[in-house]
Structure 1
Amino acid sequence: AYAKACGGVAGVSTIAVLIVLYNASRMASGLQLAAWANANAEAKDAGHVDTRSASKAYLSRYLVLSVFTGVSCFCFFMAIQLAALRGSRRMHADLMQSLVSAEMRFFDMTPTGRALNRCLKDMATIDDNMPAAFRELFDSLIQCCVTVIIVSC
Structure 2
Amino acid sequence: MRAIVVDRWMEPKDLAVREAPEPKLLAGHLGVEVKAAGCNFFDILMVQGRYQVRPPFPFIPGAELAGVVREVGPDVAGFAVGDRVLASVPLGAFAERVVFPAKAAWKMPAAMSFEQGAALPIVYPTSYAALVFRAHLAPGENLLVHAAAGGVGLAAVQ
TM-score by length of 1: 0.25
| Structure with greater strand percent | 2
Q: Give the greater-gyration-radius structure (CA).
A: 1
TM-score by length of 2: 0.24
